[in-house]
Structure 1
């Protein structure tokens, strides 16, 4: 059963619901449930968790990533013996999904004409139990998801949903036949989106992905037609524009939020990209969104 794969149609996309950090002391047991309507992603940080699903026992250790199915019976088959800690993430799927010994293509519930839309696969494949590909990056991303979901505003909601999809991409079973350059570029693009507010260079990306900085730039150019720096600038400015219209944060705070420590440089780059200063952009488009009075 540990070699089972969960194949999920990504149209519609899976949706992040909620998450948290669980701690069990010696002698305690995971709750007994059979009516939870969500998938549960579990990322073990410390200790050993003894959990069962539909009569199958699993022993989860630090660095394990495990998935519980919705509307299936899961429970502890043994109390924890030492302090045990893990992240849990609930997500919902309204499309089709199956659990099988091998990944399978799952068709969309929505009829999409290939004349207007085509992608090689709309199926996300996740392994039932696997080692976390990169614990440090994964745990940092999970904490970002939790932080954004706790903001309770539109920006935080959409940011959390986007980062959740990135989390699924980290743990998904990789598609065979995809070029190494394309895989690297997709990983870089995802990393840039999730860390856009940090200082990032080709050298730091090279260390992160264990490749030469030249390979970083080449893979992005081949796959996305732009350098990492160009992609990062574009993404930061789009985030800034969104926050200008969806929040009341000051321009200086937004500049910091999207990775610019110098507000004057931020304003210069923003004006070059959008043709208006951040203040003028906010005033122009916020006025357009106000309905005329009777």
Structure 2
């Protein structure tokens, strides 16, 4: 069975709700529940846990984990054949997510999911990113260390305990996200992040594929391939996207003329800026300002 992937968009980062231990004797079944409203991460620390979600069945073994969906039917499809112990963590997210068959499907759907998320989470003008978590996973030693930290907070006051568990949970998700990447994916992700950072730092200047090639020492075709794989767009498409996002901030936060804003974000001609903006946002820069900006 191929490993499916849960694709989350953040911010906000998926948030910790609760955690605990559970033990099963020989002959015990995992609890039968339907649509519990939170993601249920199960990690087996000893034994074997037979568990089903809707019509799909797994036998989770020591060191393996699985994320059950908030809107699914979860149940034990067979009794435990040996004494079994698990750690469970409930978490939830505010915004968009989807379950995909593989990384190719995640990346192919990435831009559509991001746009849905921005609208759903009221983040139309925020910078967002993807988090990829395997549905079924082998927990690495580093990730397991983070799990154990959840239960070292019991002696802390409740308010402090919750803050620290959220921080630990975010670190744990980061390990799962990075552990998922294949060597080729990891290389593409690293290079795409370098391209993004360079564009964010230089977007107001003349940026071309030859400039990126000289700065990052990779052929433009490889740069484009990496950006397409990770961000779903080429470096030049991302540059235009980022320039328009920055211009939206200036339209909302300043009284500058549209021509000045176009120049500030790297467009040489206000007509080209207005055309690109209208194509992406469905209205002109001036109309965008009139619709969303408060009177100053």
TM tier relative to shorter chain: 0.5 to 0.7
Q: Once the 2 structures are TM-superposed, how far is the Cα of residue 29 of structure 1 from its aligned partner?
A: 0.3
Partners of 1:73 and 1:89 in 2: CA distance: 17
The alignment's TM-score, normalised by the length of structure 2, stands at: 0.54
Q: Once the 2 structures are TM-superposed, how far is the Cα of residue 112 of structure 1 from its aligned partner?
A: 4.0
Q: Once the 2 structures are TM-superposed, how far is the Cα of residue 2 of structure 1 from its aligned partner?
A: 4.4
The alignment's TM-score, normalised by the length of structure 1, stands at: 0.55
| 2:121 is the counterpart of 1:110 | yes
SS for the counterpart of 2:153 is: helix
Conserved in 2, the CA contact under 8 Å of 1:149 and 1:160?
no
SS for the counterpart of 2:51 is: strand
In the alignment, what sits opposite 2:91? 91
| 2:163 is the counterpart of 1:158 | yes
Conserved in 2, the CA contact under 8 Å of 1:2 and 1:129?
no
| 2:138 is the counterpart of 1:127 | no
| 2:27 is the counterpart of 1:27 | yes
Partners of 1:125 and 1:179 in 2: CA distance: 15
* 1:121-167 deviation per Cα after TM superposition (whole angstroms, max 9, x unaligned): x1111111121122xx3333223223336634433222211110000
Partners of 2:75 and 2:122 in 1: CA distance: 38
Partners of 2:43 and 2:72 in 1: CA distance: 19
In the alignment, what sits opposite 2:288? none
In the alignment, what sits opposite 2:100? 100
Output aligned runs, 1:201-220, within 5 Å.
none
Partners of 1:19 and 1:150 in 2: CA distance: 15
SS for the counterpart of 2:102 is: coil
Partners of 1:75 and 1:97 in 2: CA distance: 23
SS for the counterpart of 1:6 is: strand
* 1:81-131 deviation per Cα after TM superposition (whole angstroms, max 9, x unaligned): 0001111110011211111102322313335466xx546xx1111111121
Partners of 1:113 and 1:5 in 2: CA distance: 25
In the alignment, what sits opposite 2:145? 140
| 2:174 is the counterpart of 1:169 | yes
In the alignment, what sits opposite 2:275? none
In the alignment, what sits opposite 2:11? 11
In the alignment, what sits opposite 2:289? none
In the alignment, what sits opposite 2:252? none
Q: Any stretches of 5+ residues in structure 1 without a counterpart?
A: 183-294
Q: Once the 2 structures are TM-superposed, how far is the Cα of residue 12 of structure 1 from its aligned partner?
A: 1.6
SS for the counterpart of 1:169 is: helix
Q: Any stretches of 5+ residues in structure 2 without a counterpart?
A: 194-296
| 2:73 is the counterpart of 1:66 | no
Q: Once the 2 structures are TM-superposed, how far is the Cα of residue 46 of structure 1 from its aligned partner?
A: 1.1
Q: Once the 2 structures are TM-superposed, how far is the Cα of residue 63 of structure 1 from its aligned partner?
A: 1.4
Aligned residues: 176
Partners of 1:150 and 1:4 in 2: CA distance: 37
Partners of 2:155 and 2:124 in 1: CA distance: 38
Partners of 2:98 and 2:154 in 1: CA distance: 28
Conserved in 1, the CA contact under 8 Å of 2:94 and 2:121?
no
SS for the counterpart of 1:13 is: coil
| 2:40 is the counterpart of 1:40 | yes
